[in-house]
Amino acid sequence: MTVKLSISVPDDVAAYLQGRGNVSAAVTEAVRRVLPEARRARQRAAAQAYGEYLRGLTAQQLADDRALVESSNEVALRDAQW
C-alpha cells in the first residue's frame, strides 16, 4: 500500500530531489535509513528508564516482583503441552 503525501522541503533538498528520477524512491530510501536508528534510540531510552526504575526498588520489592512473574508464568504455562 502507498499513501500520497504533499510536503514542503528546503530549497537545497528540493533541488536534489528534482535531480532524481524517482522522488518517491529517494525519499523512501532516506527515511528508511533513519528508521532503525530511531527505533534503537527508543529502545535505549526504554532500557535506561527500566534500569533506573529497578535501581529504585528495595530488595523486598524486587523479590515480590520476581514472585509475581513466576506465579504468572505458572498460571500461563499450566497444562501447556511442550
Give residue-wise pLDDT tens across range 5-64.
999 999 999 999 999 989 999 999 999 888 888 888 999 999 999 999 989 999 999 899
Would you give the DSSP letter of residue 38? H
Cα distances (angstroms) measured from residue 22 to each of 14, 19, 64, 72:
13, 9, 57, 52
Q: Domain-by-domain residue ranges, the chain? A: 11-77
Question: For residues 17 and 9, is the Cβ–Cβ distance under 8 A?
Answer: yes
pTM of the model: 0.45
What is the rounded end-to-end Cα distance, in angstroms, of the chain?
39
Q: Output the pLDDT for position 38.
A: 87
